Amino acid sequence: MFQLRPGISAAATLIACLPAAVAGRPASGEEPLPLVFEDDFSAGAGRWEPTDPAAWSLGRDGERATWGLNRRKSRYEPPVRSPHNVALVKDLELTDTRVSFQVKSTRDTGNHRDCCVFFNYRDPEHFYYVHLGARPDPASGQIMIVDGAPRRPLTNNTEPVPWDDRWHTVRLDRDTATGRIAVYFDDLETPLMEATDTTFTSGRVGIGSFDDMNDFTEIRIFGHQADARAEAGR
């Protein structure tokens, strides 16, 4: 079972043992981000805050414990056009962030298959997310910003996301000093998408989908905790 115990060296040992692409070490060789959260759902999903708890279910896939969406569209209606399925980690607000996880699409909706990663989430009308949609267009398969208005793309991605019925590895990197946002899908050396934006520099982290169904597991989050002064100004 993955269990984070603040203040002990287990997290540091784990980071040292993991390859740079999975651990919190930036590809440029800079100092690694500290491990701040991990979950494989073997102890439940009590560390998460979903917008609609009824839309999420615990399960198993062989020996894996999973947590995933049991319906395409939840009862949550966002205040502006943005994803309907959002689950945020409780009591965690970060500046620089790396998120890695395993995800499996559980319903073949063709070009509508997707999953989302949320970061620098300020409130339901102010946040970034990555939309890993199977067929890219201005509303799908892009890095998005929600800034008091319906979501809009920060990228012009044309690369499809090769969803199937298998497990895939997703990684998101966020550097608030440079504004860099990069997302990886299976290939952890070459980003699927990249963007630069500094509108939000701290906030919560989460997973979900716009309106599709996925199972998640083996989530690891690395980053720098947002301090009170930064939070007051953002």
> Which pLDDT score is estimated for 45?
98
Is 219 domain-assigned? yes
Question: Whole-model pTM?
Answer: 0.86
User: What are the beta bridge partners of residue 59?
Assistant: 66
Is 121 domain-assigned? yes
**Based on the structure, what is the number of domains in the chain?**
1
What does the pLDDT look like over 162-190, one tens digit per residue? 999 999 999 999 999 999 999 999 999 99
Is residue 173 within 8 Å of residue 67, measured between CB atoms? no
Is 168 domain-assigned? yes
Pairing of strands 204-209, 152-153: unpaired
Is 18 domain-assigned? yes
Please provide the DSSP assignment of 154-174 as one string: S----PPP---SSEEEEEEEE
In our burial notation (b when 16+ CB lie closer than 10 A, e otherwise), range 32-54 reads: bbebbbbbbbeeebebbebbbee
Is 3 domain-assigned? no
Is residue 65 within 8 Å of residue 219, measured between CB atoms? no
Strand intervals (E) in the chain: 35-39, 48-50, 56-61, 64-69, 85-89, 94-105, 116-123, 126-131, 143-147, 152-153, 167-175, 180-185, 193-196, 204-209, 214-225
Is 1 domain-assigned? no
User: What are the beta bridge partners of residue 173?
Assistant: 98, 182
Is 2 domain-assigned? no
Mean pLDDT on 54-65: 97
Distances from the Cα of 186 to the Cα of 94, 162, 167, 190, angstroms: 24, 10, 10, 9
By C-alpha distance, which of 127, 41, 120 is closest to 83?
127
What does the pLDDT look like over 113-152, one tens digit per residue? 999 999 999 999 999 999 999 999 999 999 999 999 999 9
Is 4 domain-assigned? no
Instruction: Enter the tokens of residue 56.
Output: 């999420």
User: Which residue segment(s) compose the domain that 103 sits in?
Assistant: 10-232
> Which pLDDT score is estimated for 15?
41
Within a 10 A sphere around the Cβ of 22, how many other Cβ atoms? Answer: 18
> What CATH number should be reported for the domain holding residue 214?
2.60.120.560
- The rounded distance, in Å, linking the Cα atoms of 127 and 7 is 29
What does the pLDDT look like over 14-57, one tens digit per residue? 444 444 455 565 544 567 899 999 999 999 999 999 999 999 99
Sign of the four-CA dihedral 11, 24, 229, 200: negative
What does the pLDDT look like over 187-219, one tens digit per residue? 999 999 999 999 999 999 999 999 899 999 999
Q: Counting every residue, how long is the chain?
A: 234
